[in-house]
Structure 1
């Protein structure tokens, strides 16, 4: 567990020492797509547990 904490601390220190522009680029290129993938995965996972009937309009 200590190794994981040390790696995270080193990464955090590296990221916070970058110039602001590079931090913005990192967030835009890495963090936002990662968050989108997590959101899509959670959405698909929760659809399996959705017990509501399909809401197709049959008129």
Structure 2
């Protein structure tokens, strides 16, 4: 299984190395850009969930109509 994958990867690498640079760049950006964006979104969600779990935001009850802010100073 590993040998087959290694041979396939060597063929892809050889094919890509023989392309002209603009085609190499376009192919690389077409593959790596979505992968990197997906990884960044995944990391962002994991960090958000971890920070919420370990440092929850206190829930503040909504202000009642007619109440003023205690810190307004007037």
Give the match for residue 55 of structure 2.
Answer: 52
Whose radius of gyration is greater, 1 or 2? 2
Q: Which runs of 5+ in 2 are unaligned?
A: 58-74
Give the match for residue 37 of structure 2.
Answer: 36
Q: Which runs of 5+ in 1 are unaligned?
A: 55-59
Q: How many residues align?
A: 55
Q: TM-score, normalised by structure 1?
A: 0.71
Please give the root-mean-square deviation of Cα atoms over the aligned residues, in Å. Answer: 1.9
Displacement of 1:36: 0.9
Once the two structures are superposed, residues 6-56 of structure 1 have per-residue CA deviations (whole angstroms, 9 ceiling, x without a partner) of 1111111111111000011112222111111122123223433331223xx
Q: Which fold has the larger relative contact order, with Cα–Cα distance below 8 Å and residues 6 or more apart in sequence?
A: 1
Structure with bigger helix share is 1
Q: TM-score, normalised by structure 2?
A: 0.60
Whether 1:14 and 2:15 are equivalent positions in the alignment is yes
